[in-house]
Amino acid sequence: MTTVDVALGARSYPIHIGPGLLDEPSRWRDAIGGHHVLVVSNATVAPLYLARIEAALGGLQHASVVLPDGEQHKTFDHVARVLDALAGLGASRDATVVALGGGVIGDLAGFAAACWMRGIAFVQVPTTLLAMVDSSVGGKTGVNLPAGKNLVGAFHQPRAVVIDTATLDTLPPREYLAGLAEVVKYGAIGDAAFFTWLEDHAGALLAREPAAVIRAIAESCRYKAGVVARDEREDGERALLNFGHTFGHAIESEAGYGTFLHGEAVGIGMLLAARLSADLDRAPAADADRLERLLERLGLPTHVPADLDAEALLARMRLDKKAVSGHLRLILWRALGAADIVGGVADEAILDVLRRGRTTG
Ligand code: NAD
Ligand code: GLY
Domain boundaries, the chain: 2-170, 173-356
Distance, in Å, from the CA atom of 125 to the CA atom of 56, rounded to the nearest integer, reads 13
Active site residue 245: yes
Closest CA to 268 of 241, 240, 305: 305
Active site residue 74: no
Active site residue 321: no
Phi, psi values for residue 43, rounded to 5°: -70, -15
pTM: 0.97
| Among 49, 107, 144, residue to substitute to test ligand 1 (most atoms within 8 Å of Cβ) | 107
Closest CA to 112 of 138, 132, 133, 91: 91
Alpha carbon nearest to ligand 1 atom 27, residue:
103
Fold annotation for 173-356: Dehydroquinate synthase-like, alpha domain (1.20.1090)
DSSP states of 85-108 as a string? HHHHHT--TT-EEEEEESHHHHHH
Q: Does domain 2-170 have CATH number 3.40.50.1970?
A: yes
- Say how many CA atoms lie within 13 Å of 1 toward its Cβ: 19
137 lines ligand 1 (CB under 6 A): no
Distance, in Å, from the CA atom of 178 to the CA atom of 133, rounded to the nearest integer, reads 11
Active site residue 118: yes
Distance, in Å, from the CA atom of 149 to the CA atom of 326, rounded to the nearest integer, reads 18
Distance, in Å, from the CA atom of 259 to the CA atom of 251, rounded to the nearest integer, reads 9
Closest CA to 296 of 267, 258, 272, 262: 267
Distance, in Å, from the CA atom of 180 to the CA atom of 300, rounded to the nearest integer, reads 9
Q: Nearest ligand, CA of residue 150?
A: 1
The pLDDT tens digits along the chain (361 residues) read 999 999 999 999 999 999 999 999 999 999 998 999 999 999 999 999 999 999 999 999 999 999 999 999 999 999 999 999 999 999 999 999 999 999 999 999 999 999 999 999 999 999 999 999 999 999 999 999 988 888 999 999 999 999 999 999 999 999 999 999 999 999 999 999 999 999 999 999 999 999 999 999 999 999 999 999 999 999 999 999 999 999 999 999 999 988 999 999 999 999 999 999 999 999 999 999 999 999 999 999 999 999 999 999 999 999 877 777 778 999 999 999 999 999 999 999 999 999 999 876 4
Alpha carbon nearest to ligand 2 atom 2, residue:
241
β 140-145/148-155 pair status: antiparallel
Instruction: From the CA of 241, give the closest atom in ligand 2.
Output: 2
